[in-house]
Structure 1
Amino acid sequence: MTKQARSEQTRRLLLEAAAELLHRDGYAATSMVGIAQAAGVTKGGLYFHFSSKDEICDEVQIAATGVLRAHVGRQLTVPRPALRRLAELSRALMHWLDTDPKVGASFRMAREMGSVDERFVVFSRTWLAQVHEYVADAIDGGELGTGVPLETAELLVVVTCVGLESVVSSRIVEPDGDLAVTLGKLWRLIELAERSPRPTAGAGA
């Protein structure tokens, strides 16, 4: 292995270890020493690649954003209605929160540290911007009623995803299966409600 390859491998191990710790323990409980130990790297090796914990947090969010952008890029290869893309993005987010520590760490950092420093909400805002784009496309394409405000529809999606992640991570509720499956059930309820016939005026009177 060349020196450059070893350096890249060490950096990757540090990012993976940082993401795991940040996702599991949160920002405050994660230390530079802990990251180095978890990665099996010396403290000097850690500081060769990263000057501070915040710099590592930035890199974790950049990696998580790459996961998001790759998903959006794959969606573009197959034409789909905007609401379908929105549902797929939401389910993908829930899947990543279960399986990808980079995304899980980014979401947790936003929840715990976003009010302290905007650097911790980079991934969350990128995801929010994509939700906004899909909702706007759905409205423009006539997939949502003309009276549905963009901000309200967007907020509904965000609150559903963020709220589900929060109540599950805090163990307030236990999901039926993984987060993606649970969110899928919520989307099916919405789809069924959209298909249900609307009561006519005076019905049941």
Structure 2
Amino acid sequence: MTTPKPGGAVARRAAERAPGPRQARAVRTRALVLEAAAQLFARRGFQSVTIQDIAELAGATKGAVYFHFANKEAMAVELVHSFYTAATRQASELVDPKLEPLEAVRELTRATGRSLRDEPVAQAAVRLQAERVSIDVDLPLPFVDYIAFISLLLTRAADAGLLPPHVEPATLARTLVSSFFGVQHVSWILNDRTDVVERIDELLDLLLPS
């Protein structure tokens, strides 16, 4: 078998597939627009933010913003989807039979708290969900996958004898997720989430067996 030489057909096809400077610029502009939208939605809410606000923070023109997104609603959908995709990926990594299930629940919950404290996309996604009735678009449904992952981990904990016999894993999962999002909301309003991980630890200590 002949080894393809540099500059041959294989190299030419690879070069054709590689993004050029214009495409790389477009990818970067799109990311900057989404980042700007996340920061503004998280800080000010969906309704008070304009396309011009997003363009100015991103260092782009309104035309560039509209090139990538038809409207603010499209950005909202993408931001919420991005947050849930990242959360689902993280949860999938923790749903591992080799991990102690209650520790996995703690780590997943604390990791979500850290993302809400530190990451504008997570902050924007949660605020957008809270404002979903005033946003004229169908946002991804919240909580369902998160409850399912926690329920799976708690079921494994129950099977391993780590939960009291009277505790129903699905009920505890719903209670924990509902309480978690309430705790993060209170931490957001009172302290801009600076203490959210500590408040989550308090919650976990109350709800989960030590």
Smaller-chain TM-score bracket: 0.7 to 0.9
Aligned twin of 1:67: 86
Aligned ranges for residues 180-191 of structure 1 at < 5 Å?
180-190=197-207
CA–CA distance in 2 between the matches of 1:127 and 1:23? 21
Q: 1:28 to 1:126 in 2, by over 3 A?
A: farther
Aligned twin of 1:31: 50
| Contact 1:50–1:56 (Cα < 8 Å) also in 2 | yes
* Structure 2: unaligned runs, 5 residues or longer: 1-19
Normalised by the length of structure 1, the TM-score is 0.80
Q: 1:76 to 1:133 in 2, by over 3 A?
A: closer
C-alpha displacement of 1:26: 1.2
CA–CA distance in 1 between the matches of 2:39 and 2:71? 17
Q: How many residues align?
A: 191
CA–CA distance in 1 between the matches of 2:170 and 2:136? 24
C-alpha displacement of 1:109: 1.1
Q: 1:123 to 1:20 in 2, by over 3 A?
A: farther
Aligned twin of 1:201: none
Larger radius of gyration: 2
Aligned twin of 2:109: 90
Aligned ranges for residues 49-198 of structure 1 at < 5 Å?
49-75=68-94, 79-113=98-132, 119-122=138-141, 124-171=143-190, 174=191, 178-190=195-207, 194=209
| Contact 2:113–2:197 (Cα < 8 Å) also in 1 | yes
CA–CA distance in 2 between the matches of 1:8 and 1:149? 47
Normalised by the length of structure 2, the TM-score is 0.78
| Contact 1:138–1:144 (Cα < 8 Å) also in 2 | yes
Q: Percentage identity across aligned positions? A: 27
CA–CA distance in 2 between the matches of 1:160 and 1:183? 9
Amino acid paired to 1:29? S
CA–CA distance in 2 between the matches of 1:50 and 1:143? 48
Q: 1:114 to 1:71 in 2, by over 3 A?
A: farther
* Structure 1: unaligned runs, 5 residues or longer: 196-205
CA–CA distance in 2 between the matches of 1:142 and 1:120? 38
**Per-residue deviation, residues 6-45 of structure 1 (Å, max 9, x unmatched):** 0000000011011111111111122222111111110110
